[in-house]
Structure 1
């Protein structure tokens, strides 16, 4: 069984960084068959292990669990957040890079 270990990124709908501190191990089965449900149209899958997500405090704990259980796993490192420091006063600066448009 394959697993993926990653640190989730924040969603576009949130401004804070909640639920992004823990590492997640989720099972991946590329051979699982997905099909639409004929009545509701929802996507069904024949392997329910893809619904299991295990949360760990550190990456090392997640790797130790995967090795102890004999799982093939891949670790996806989180990308560093690029923070652009902006000031409201820069909008009215004399050496502004873009001309004032209105």
Structure 2
């Protein structure tokens, strides 16, 4: 679930996640640097800033990087092991909130 003071609560789909941010599929264009909060399963709201938005997808930068344990919990939840060169990145194509 994504929350914006301007748009309220929006459903979104996250298809990339790292400790520093995520890419969310949201059919809404946001201004660069707009503040949004995103809530993943089993987490509280996480503050983000919009890095870019094209009207279909938005790159969200977490205000504070995710703790490694939180990232690992999300990966376990979606059964997505970290692998490859970028150990802090994962595709979460199945998560919708």
Q: State if a TM-score over 0.5 links the two structures.
A: no
Q: Which has the higher strand share?
A: 2
TM-score by length of structure 1 reads 0.26
Normalized per residue, the structure richer in helix is 1
Q: Which has the larger radius of gyration?
A: 1
